[in-house]
Every structure is written in C-alpha cells, then in structure tokens.
Structure 1
Amino acid sequence: MTSDATPPYRNPLYKNHVLLLSQSFFIKDNRDELLLHAHKYDFDIAFFNEVSHFVSAIGNSRDHDLFVIDLDALHNLQSDMQSSRKTLMLGELLERLPGNHDYVYLQSARQGGRFLLQQRLVDSHCLAYAEKPIPNDVLVDKLFKLFVQRKGGDLVRLIHLGDPTDLDEAALLRQRVEVIRHADAHTLHQRVKELQPDIVLIGAAEYDRTEAIARVLQKNIEADPVREITLLQRRPDEDQARRALASGFDEIMPLSAPDLLTEQLVHRANKIRVSKDLIGKDRATGLLNKVGLQKKAQALIRQAARDNVPLAYGVVDIDKFKTINDTWGHSFGDIVIKRLSLTLAQQVGELDLLSRFGGEEFVVVFWDCTPAQGWQKLDALRQAFGAIAFQVAPGDVRHFSFSGGIATYPEQRSENELFLRADAMLYEAKQAGRNRICPPGDAMA
C-alpha cells in the first residue's frame, strides 16, 4: 500500500501514471491484475486508501497523470489525519480535491442511476466516470484511451478550398491545426495526394462549380480512410447538403462566427488525433507501430524531397531476445523492450520518427541526416543501451545489446526500399557477431 505522499511512488520505467484512491480490500484483490494490464499499456498505478496521502500525491503529480477515485470507498476512507475512520461525505471529498485537476470516478450501478449525482460529479472537475463492476482489462483500456485523448497530439493538417477570410488560421495553428490554402478545384486531388492532409474543407461555391471533387478524392487508392472531407456552407441548403453527402462528403459544416468555426474544427482535429493514435501507436510503448510508421515515413520522404534534405533510416533489433525471454521470463523481456524504447526516445529530435516495428525490433528515422551522421547517432544509442544495468536477480546484474542496420535517402527512394536496405544491413550485423551497426561508420563517411 502506498502511504508516502512524495514522488517515490513513481516508477521511472513507465511513461504515464495513475493515482487510484480506493478501498483496501479492492486494492488487495485487484492490485496484481490491474498492474499486469497497466504495464502492458506503459503506465503504472499507485494505490491509496487515505485521502490526505492521495491529495498530497496529486500536489506532486505531473501534467499527464490520471487521478481515479472509487466512490464506493467513501464509507471506509480516512477523512482526517487521525487514525479513526468515519463515513466521508461526497461533498467533503470534492472540497478536499485540488480544483486544478480533473478526476475519473468509479461508481456502482446504483450510484450511476442517480442523475443528480452524475450532474454533481460532472460539474466537479470530472474527466470521466465509469460504472462498476468493470473488468480490470476494460478499465485499463479506458484509462489508456484517456491518456491518448489528453495528449497535445500531432499537428493536424487541413487543406482549404474556398474564401481565405473564412478561417482564423492563427487561432487554429495555436491548437496545432495547420491550414494550407489551395485555389484550384481541378488540381486539389494532386495537392491532397502530395500533402496527405487530415481534413479537406471545401466551400459551397467551389463544390457547386466542381461537384465531382469529393468522388475524385475518395476513389484514389492511396486515400486515407481517416481523412474527413467537409463542406462549408454560408447558408443552409438542404438540397446541396444531400447531393454533397451522396457524392462522398463526410460532413456539412455551417459557416458561423470565426471563433465558433475554430472550435468546431479543433474538436474534429482532436477526434482525428485520437483515432490516428489508436490505429498508429504501439500501446505497450506509446511509439509508432508499423502502420503509423509507414504513413509518417512516406510523408517525411515527400517533405525531404521538397526541402532537398537527406534522411537516415535505421532498423535495430535486441540481440538474443529469445534467450532473454526463455531465461528470465516474458515480463522481464517486456522491461528490456521498454528500457530500449526510452533510450531511443530520449535521443530523437522533433522531426525524427521512432517506431516499435514489431516485437523487439525498432525503426528510427533521422531528419536532415547524412549517412555518416546517421551511423554516429545509431551507434551512440547502441552504446547507451549497452551501458544500462539490468538486475535479473539479487546481486546478478546483466547488460544487453542490440544490432542495427542503416539506409539513407535519397540513395533509397521509397519507404519500402529504405526498410529493405536497412533490414539487410541488420542481418549483416547479426551475422558479423551482433552488437554493431552495419554498414560500419567508415563505409558511410
């Protein structure tokens, strides 16, 4: 049981943390299984059954922590610093919770049926609520999605075909929505193919002049299924709306006050971010998965071609990972994977890409990086990982390694060519004795 209000409850191995205020028996019965599921999603849970310690821990928390409160525990929570216990009223609990944070509430089905209670929770810094009983794996999955939703998220790209005065570009950019203007409906499909935007916003007048525009965008075999094509109407027109929806538009949006339109587009962007994260991220590490990497790498190659800059594409694989799993168990193997993901993540830049490609294999793409610089960076990461001490048993410390292969753009032109070349170099590194990067640095100078 965590009873310390200071940060030592935080496990540095995990990126995210949940603070859970609950009953002693609930924690005892669920602790191991909850932690097992949470660790697979790269977050840890700290357990509390005293309000004072929970509130103090919130004061030492970080921005992306989640705070979960089991309302069934109210009758068994300590309401003051004394050892005696009494029933803690909901109002007293809500008053004691720091008001600059939001909370996730767990409640019984009986409590969930009381609308006034739900209203009070929602009006009291409620991030979300859930009814019990809820399976541990389901609860952990829901908490993971809350972590995803609370992130700032990637830049969402919006292409706008229409009147340039319709959008507040500066306000949207502050919410990480980039607006790209395009004036010609007949070349819009080429611009969309080039930039792969998340939202295409088309004015009503432009649609009337070129009604096939959405069909042309959607039938491209490279069309992103998450992309939204939206019609912006200056005034309601039901006939136009019906025709637009039938021709492939996803949504009809009225042109309202600039601040209201900005809010609507930001909400759409946030939903797109969550969908893309759930599709394109590895849940155990939070890094890009294979799907997410391929899409972003293709976009990065297009940008490199426009800006005339080189890329370095590295594939790394933990050496003798099957032996690690067979000797110390899969849970320990997961720890090794997480430590490698943290080592790699600490060294990649804002424009670089990092992916857990599958199992113990990772891919890193360095932006504006020559072959020699790419080898140096990847070899520095190899040395950093090799320096990490893993305690496999009391008094038994081991060090592990990875091998890597590297390829470069523009020598290899496509994402697939880069991966195949780097993967072939990885195979050479393994065959040459492991714990090295191929080709060697002198060959890339």
Structure 2
Amino acid sequence: MTSGTPLYRNHVLLLSQSFFIKDNRAELLLHAHKYDFDILFFDELSRFVEAVARDDEGNLYVIDLDALHNMQSDMQDSRKTLMLGELLQRLPGDHSYVYLQSARQGGRFLLQQRLVDSNCLAYAEKPIANDVLVDKLFNLFVQQKRGDLVRMMVLGDAPGLDPDALLRQRIELIPHADAQTLHVRVKEVQPDIVLVTDAEYRRTEALVRVLKKNIEADPVREVVLAQCRPDDALSMNALASGFDAVLPAGTPGLLAPQLVNRANKIRVNKDLIGKDRATGLLNKVGLQRKAQELIRQAAREERPLAFGVLDIDKFKTINDTWGHHFGDIVIKRLSLALGAQLAEGDLLSRFGGEEFVLVFWNCTLEQGWGRLDAMRQAFGAIPFEVKPGEVRHFSFSGGMAAYPACRSENELFLRADAMLYEAKQGGRNRICPAPAPQRVAGTQAAADAL
C-alpha cells in the first residue's frame, strides 16, 4: 500500500533474543497492527540505544531481560556477557522502559527495586501470550497520553485549588455555590469529578444520594469529599452514603495532587471504555456521551450541528478478496483520512466494523454535506496496493442529518442512517441528501475498486 501518511501512529522498540523475535514476530505484529501500533525489533544493544536516543515521539521501549544472556559487552572484554548494570547504564536516561522477565527474575524483590529505580515504566513476567502483551502495551500508550480534559465541579471552598495550575494538568475547575441546585448543574455539565467540602456535606447530607440515584448518572464519575477537618464519623457516614472517596484537605498543597491522580485514572478509564482500540477513535459508548454533551452545548449557544454516518462500500468483498488484515488497513486509512479534516469541536467515531460517525460543530446540513463529500473524495484518492504492482481505490457512502431539526443523538443517528441507506441504494460512493440546488450523484465511482 502506498501513501505518504504513516500507517501506525505509535511504535514499540523491542530489544529481545533472536529466538523470541523469530518465533513471535508475525503474530506480535498482527496483534499490534490491530491496536494501531507497529513493533520494531532489535537484537543488538547498540542499535537499540541509538534508536531510543533519536526517538522523541512518545513511543514505548521494551527490553527482554533474557536477551542479556545472548549479548556481549562491548565496553571492555568483548567476550564478557552483558550485565544488567551495564544495560541500565547505557540506556538513555530521559526515557522510560518496559521490562520482560522470567518468573524466577520476577520473584527477586531486589531486582524489581533496581528496575523501578532505573526509569522503569512497567515490568511483566514471561511467558506472556502475544495478545496479552500487546493489550498491556496498548494500555500503556493510553496512560502516557495527556488525554481529554477532565471537568471537576466543586461545591464549597476547597483549599489550595489553583484553576490555572489544574488546567495545565488538563483539569477544568467549575465552581458551584448552591447545594440545592448541584444535581441540576451536574446534569447540565456532566463533570467527571464532583468535589464536595465537608462543610457543605454537613449542611446537606443527602447530596451524594441525590446525585447517584439519577438514572442518567455517569458510572465513571467520581463524587469525592474534601475533608478539611479530621472527623472519622463524618468520613464513615460519607462513604456509606455513596461518596467514592474521602480526601484529606487540611494540609496546604495536599488536595490538588490527590485530585490530579484521580483525574489521570478517570482519563485512562474513559479512554479504555470509550475509545476503539484499533483506531483510537471514539467507539459507540464514547460517541454517545460526547454527542449528548455537544447537543447540550449547541442548545445553550444556539449553534447548528451536522451529523454524518458513513460506511465503506462493499467492505465484505474487500475482506473476502484480500483478507481481514487488509480490511483492517483500509479501516485504519479511512480513520486517518477523516481525522485529518476535523475541525475544533468536531467528533469522529468508529461506530462499529466499517461504519463511522462524524458530528460537525457549528455546521449546517449543507456545510456538513460539503465537508463529508470532501472527505469522500480524499479517501477515494488513496491508492491501496492490494498486491505487488496492483493498486485499487475504495469508496464510502454517507448519510447526513442536522440539529436542531433532529433534537436528540438517537434521532440524529436514525435520520442519518436512513440517508446512508438511500445513498447505498442510489449507487454508492455518494452523500445523501445532496444539497437541493445540486442533487448531484457521487463523483467518479470507484470503478477500479472492485
């Protein structure tokens, strides 16, 4: 397949024994590519160190400690087996590493201590199944990303919270003054964390029960008590009534880092729950929440939204002809082509299989048609090398709907999906409904596609 855009956004640099690479290379790559990262294999320490030193893309660096037995030191006596201390000394100190080790090595606490004190991002014991290793590495990629903004609503005067400092940690602080209307404001804003001071809890003990019993309550959201004055009985009552945690806040500077840690964990959980692993885009769960938030914002600000549903044409034939792995590549390329043309505030989701959903912020139906049609043309121009010397082009069809004509996320999807069906029935490779003055069919059909 030929294209100037990198196929995989992330990479793993793996230093390992030659037999580990030989026996696992193909399967490791197959699993990794489905999770949108590639693996670069190294069996020489010097080449691995050079590659890590040159890399500044936030990739992962994995070291199989069993490789030490098959590597020789090149610092003094070339016949000397490479030792752990020399390995750690030679690794670039401004990067962190993932170590693979045997169960016997994993049982040695002093070895684990040495690793975690030497830029260790994580360690894992072998034997480990290839799909499990790849899944764990994907989770590490998620954890390393700054991720989405975490919104925190605060009721009461919580000490030591600097809004600007929190914003630099990707946490937006939203103060609220009235306990009686907190549940209404939470429903409107949908924060990820609700922080209640102990003074406010003493005044309105039913706060958390009102928040948690709402059938629309987000299960990922945390309701946290900031305890400015030690009170064990109050803490026990708060936890029994539904608070997720009680954070000590009496010492200056203590509350903020606790909230940053909780926000980071929430961010990772949201990514794992709400994002498609193969493309990194929103999945069906993530889209539903984000789209509902965007609709509420559009209602407050009186802005239009355009909602598009698209589907790769004849995707089953692509899979049947060139294999599911090639089909995965087509999906990945489409996600990159769509993502390259997103604007601030837009949403993009892999809704399932070969189906994608876009939401264009502050965009009319006609404007949305134009933007989605431009994406259709951009994807149709991508050459796919299905086998050496043979290039094909593929297409997608799309349907559009608009807010406020459709008022809910479900209504928007059903309308756009109906228009997608119309586009498929009308010959594929087109967006429906076309703007009234034009009513044009899709540009050149992907005649050489299938």
Aligned to 2:150: 156
Residue in structure 1 matching 2:356, options 345, 349, 362: 362
- 62 and 318 in structure 1: CA distance in 2 versus 1, 3 angstrom threshold: farther
Structure-to-structure mapping, 1:366-445, within 5 angstroms: 366-442=360-436
Matched, 1:291 2:285: yes
Matched, 1:344 2:338: yes
Matched, 1:126 2:120: yes
Matched, 1:138 2:95: no
Matched, 1:106 2:104: no
Matched, 1:88 2:87: no
Instruction: Find the aligned partners of 1:172 and 1:21 in 2 and give their Cα distance.
Output: 38
The one-letter code sitting in structure 1 at the alignment partner of 2:224 is: T
Structure-to-structure mapping, 1:162-201, within 5 angstroms: 162-163=156-157, 165-201=159-195
Aligned to 1:226: 220
Instruction: Find the aligned partners of 2:343 and 2:316 in 1 and give their Cα distance.
Output: 31
The one-letter code sitting in structure 1 at the alignment partner of 2:170 is: R
With the length of structure 1 as denominator, give the TM-score of the two structures. 0.95
The one-letter code sitting in structure 2 at the alignment partner of 1:360 is: E
The one-letter code sitting in structure 1 at the alignment partner of 2:310 is: V
SS in 2 for 1:119: helix
Q: What displacement does 1:256 show?
A: 3.8
Matched, 1:262 2:230: no
- 373 and 257 in structure 1: CA distance in 2 versus 1, 3 angstrom threshold: farther
SS in 1 for 2:172: strand
- 341 and 348 in structure 1: CA distance in 2 versus 1, 3 angstrom threshold: same
Matched, 1:241 2:235: yes
Matched, 1:277 2:276: no
Instruction: Find the aligned partners of 1:86 and 1:441 in 2 and give their Cα distance.
Output: 74
Aligned to 2:445: none
Matched, 1:97 2:91: yes
Instruction: Find the aligned partners of 2:89 and 2:79 in 1 and give their Cα distance.
Output: 18
Aligned to 2:312: 318
Per-residue CA shift, 1:41-90, capped at 9, x if unaligned?
A: 11111100001111111133243200000011012125439996641111
SS in 1 for 2:98: strand
Q: What displacement does 1:39 show?
A: 1.2
The one-letter code sitting in structure 2 at the alignment partner of 1:265 is: L
The one-letter code sitting in structure 1 at the alignment partner of 2:63 is: I
Q: What displacement does 1:318 show?
A: 0.2
With the length of structure 2 as denominator, give the TM-score of the two structures. 0.94
Instruction: Find the aligned partners of 1:172 and 1:444 in 2 and give their Cα distance.
Output: 49
- 111 and 11 in structure 1: CA distance in 2 versus 1, 3 angstrom threshold: farther
Q: Which runs of 5+ in 1 are unaligned?
A: 1-9
Per-residue CA shift, 1:85-106, capped at 9, x if unaligned?
A: 6411111111111111000011
Q: What displacement does 1:22 show?
A: 0.4
Instruction: Find the aligned partners of 2:43 and 2:398 in 1 and give their Cα distance.
Output: 47
The one-letter code sitting in structure 2 at the alignment partner of 1:416 is: N
Residue in structure 2 matching 1:44, options 33, 38, 42: 38
Q: Report the number of matched residues.
A: 436
SS in 2 for 1:441: coil
Instruction: Please tell me whether the aligned partners of residues 71 and 81 of structure 2 are also in contact (alpha carbons under 8 angstroms).
Output: yes
Instruction: Find the aligned partners of 2:220 and 2:267 in 1 and give their Cα distance.
Output: 10
The one-letter code sitting in structure 2 at the alignment partner of 1:204 is: D
**Identical columns (%):** 76
Instruction: Find the aligned partners of 2:73 and 2:373 in 1 and give their Cα distance.
Output: 55
Instruction: Find the aligned partners of 1:188 and 1:429 in 2 and give their Cα distance.
Output: 45
- 88 and 436 in structure 1: CA distance in 2 versus 1, 3 angstrom threshold: same
Instruction: Find the aligned partners of 1:338 and 1:82 in 2 and give their Cα distance.
Output: 47
Name whichever of 20-29 and 433-442 sits farther off.
433-442
SS in 2 for 1:73: helix
Instruction: Please tell me whether the aligned partners of residues 11 and 44 of structure 1 are also in contact (alpha carbons under 8 angstroms).
Output: no
Per-residue CA shift, 1:13-60, capped at 9, x if unaligned?
A: 112110000010110011111111111111111100001111111133
Matched, 1:58 2:52: yes
Instruction: Find the aligned partners of 2:400 and 2:73 in 1 and give their Cα distance.
Output: 59
Q: Which runs of 5+ in 2 are unaligned?
A: 440-450
Instruction: Find the aligned partners of 2:190 and 2:399 in 1 and give their Cα distance.
Output: 29
Q: What RMSD in Å do the two structures reach over aligned CA positions?
A: 1.8
Aligned to 2:210: 216
Instruction: Find the aligned partners of 1:72 and 1:318 in 2 and give their Cα distance.
Output: 45
